[in-house]
Structure 1
Amino acid sequence: MAKYKLEYLWLDGYTPVANIRGKTKIAEFDDFPTLDQLDDWGFDGSSTQQADGGDSDCMLKPVAVYPDAGRSGNAALVMCEVMLPDGTPHPSNTRATIIDDPGAWFGFEQEYFLEQDGRPLGWPEVGYPDPQGEYYTAVGNKNCGDIARTIVEEHLDLCLAAGINHEGINAEVAKGQ
């Protein structure tokens, strides 16, 4: 049996935008773990805006597992839903209600800013860059920079290596985004 680093990932209870949280569990498996081999795992919800201090137990229920291409050795990304101790979905767990609406259509878009010295990459030291617009789906060093493109490409390659479905990438409306 081999030891695996399992990075349990979930969305916290912050609003209006939740943050990704993670903690690593070590477990032994003969081969890469399947979803049914992964245990539920508890966490302190009072630190993630998902419980009060006096009753802070929350549970992580694995719903998908992918190879973690960003870590060396045996490693997996374990995507989780947040559950209450009785096994029902936590109020912040909006994923659990998707199945209740068979007509729902949705998509995911992960947007982020790359930063350098506390400000978005490519922004001047003082003030702001040119107005938004010219950066959206832009190419070339002036608009998105070669370092930014290298990071975005590496992120895409890691997702694809892990088996995480990806539809594509593009530069966004603000410089450094």
Structure 2
Amino acid sequence: MATSASSQLNKAVKQQYMDLPQGDMVQAMYIWIDGSGEGLRCKTRTLDFEPKTIEDLPEWNFDGSSTYQSEGSNSDMFLIPAAIFRDPFRKDPNKLVLCEVLKYNRNPTGRPHESKAGKCCSWSCLKLHLISVIVPETNLRRTCKQIMSMVENNHPWFGMEQEYTLLGTDGHPFGWPSNGFPGPQGPYYCGVGADKAYGRDVVEAHYRACLYAGVNICGTNAEVMPAQWEFQVGPCEGINMGDHLWVARFILHRVCEDFGVVVSFDPKPISGNWNGAGCHTNFSTKEMREDGGLKVIEESIERLAKRHRYHIRAYDPKGGLDNARRLTGRHETSNIDEFSAGVANRGASIRIPRSVGHDKKGYFEDRRPSANCDPYIVTEALVRTCLLKEEGEEPTDYSK
């Protein structure tokens, strides 16, 4: 198994230095999403106090020309602290700081360019339009926060199920034979044993690190494809969903770095008869959670059915191109061209859990988001359609 050279360094020697006292100083690691819409970047600064709230943290800057976010001739970008967590790697009193990114003129870096495709109805037609219009504008948090503030009395709750795949540094799935494939899918989902669970050490370290950091992680399990795992974050209300999932992803990348392996959020890392990776999103509102809430759920599903193409564009960073490899109608997915819903149906776009059908209240699960989705735009899209009752293929601009 190919692992990174850094994983071979002596961790015991490193720990000697990590155990040194740091006086009254605090290390704050600033984290942001780069211009790819998927990658995370970070850098650290020293503070002479322990920040307790976001307001305590100073703004910072970085070179956007090296992160696909600006040109070299005007490369300074601003980091605006947005959420603060405990640092599980350096430990207290040190912090992880999730940031928004602003341009040199202090405008947000924007949102993905929306497709201006015509009224063609098939995915094969739509993707021809999308290839040329996706741009790497990645500060989706600001718009999401605005939308969430408009519906805060509805108390929208989210829970996201983040699937991922562990790889060696050579891109080969962790634990797979160097030449060939493991046995067919079947024994790996929630499996136990060296021949079924590949990479549990990474999973356990990540889980504990998230708990220490204050991430609202609520579970984990081995997935259907060997070397594929899932963790769940939630329930989180409003903007917190995106904040907690992005920090959980950062922590996973950082844990994998220590083990010398790579985490992939590719929605179809291995072609063929293997499950892809999604980020199933559970959603409810105050009305849905109360008696008779099933009627509200069904009304929301009707609205989602009429906006299928808008949601498909929102549910992966490439506007649907990545998800087209995963949403084939096979391997527990719906077909990308068709909207469907059903009770306990994992082959549908929207699944109503059996317990919700029985209790007549609760939540529903949108199974369309890809593993590499941006949680800000996924949660925002659900609120726009289900609560703000938007229609059509473009989001409403409330700033006008």
TM-score (normalised: structure 1): 0.84
Aligned partner of 2:208 in structure 1 is 157
Distance, in Å, in 2 between the alignment partners of 1:40 and 1:79 is 12
Distance, in Å, in 1 between the alignment partners of 2:46 and 2:56 is 13
Distance, in Å, in 1 between the alignment partners of 2:141 and 2:32 is 11
1:95 to 141, 146, 150: 141
Deviations along 1:11-41, one digit per CA (max 9) or x if unpaired, are 1011xx5101100111110x45421111111
Contact persistence 2:86–2:92 (CA under 8 A):
no
Q: 1:2 to 1:48 in 2, by over 3 A?
A: same
Distance, in Å, in 1 between the alignment partners of 2:142 and 2:157 is 15
1:13 aligned onto 2:47: no
Q: Amino acid of the residue matched to residue 5 of structure 1?
A: Q
Aligned partner of 1:49 in structure 2 is 68
Deviations along 1:113-134, one digit per CA (max 9) or x if unpaired, are 3334632221001123334454
Aligned partner of 2:330 in structure 1 is none
Distance, in Å, in 2 between the alignment partners of 1:117 and 1:43 is 27
Q: Which moved more, 1:127-136 or 1:56-65?
A: 127-136
Distance, in Å, in 2 between the alignment partners of 1:164 and 1:66 is 8
Q: 1:32 to 1:101 in 2, by over 3 A?
A: closer
Task: Flag the structure with higher strand content.
Answer: 1
Contact persistence 2:108–2:142 (CA under 8 A):
yes
Aligned partner of 2:323 in structure 1 is none
Task: Flag the structure with higher helix content.
Answer: 2
The CA deviation at 1:68 is 0.5
1:120 to 169, 173, 176: 173
Q: Amino acid of the residue matched to residue 165 of structure 1?
A: N
Q: 1:58 to 1:32 in 2, by over 3 A?
A: closer
Distance, in Å, in 1 between the alignment partners of 2:224 and 2:74 is 43
Distance, in Å, in 2 between the alignment partners of 1:99 and 1:128 is 44
Aligned 1:1-177 pairs, distance under 5 A: 2-14=24-36, 17-29=37-49, 31-72=50-91, 74-91=93-110, 92-102=138-148, 107-116=159-168, 118=170, 119-132=172-185, 134-145=187-198, 148-177=199-228
Question: How many positions carry a matched residue from both structures?
Answer: 172
Q: 1:32 to 1:120 in 2, by over 3 A?
A: same
- Could you say what secondary structure the match of 1:22 adopts? strand
Q: Amino acid of the residue matched to residue 65 of structure 2?
A: S
What is the aligned-residue RMSD (CA, Å)? 2.3
5+ residue gaps, structure 1: none
The CA deviation at 1:50 is 0.6
Distance, in Å, in 2 between the alignment partners of 1:97 and 1:3 is 35
Deviations along 1:121-157, one digit per CA (max 9) or x if unpaired, are 2100112333445433333322114xx2222111111
* Percent of matched pairs sharing the same residue: 41
Q: 1:108 to 1:12 in 2, by over 3 A?
A: farther
- Could you say what secondary structure the match of 1:74 adopts? coil
5+ residue gaps, structure 2: 1-22, 111-137, 229-400
Deviations along 1:50-103, one digit per CA (max 9) or x if unpaired, are 111111111111111111021156321001111112322112101111134346
- Could you say what secondary structure the match of 1:121 adopts? coil
- Could you say what secondary structure the match of 2:74 adopts? coil
Aligned partner of 2:241 in structure 1 is none
Distance, in Å, in 2 between the alignment partners of 1:94 and 1:18 is 12
Aligned partner of 2:282 in structure 1 is none
The CA deviation at 1:46 is 0.8
Q: Amino acid of the residue matched to residue 95 of structure 1?
A: R
- Could you say what secondary structure the match of 2:46 adopts? strand
Q: Amino acid of the residue matched to residue 66 of structure 2?
A: S
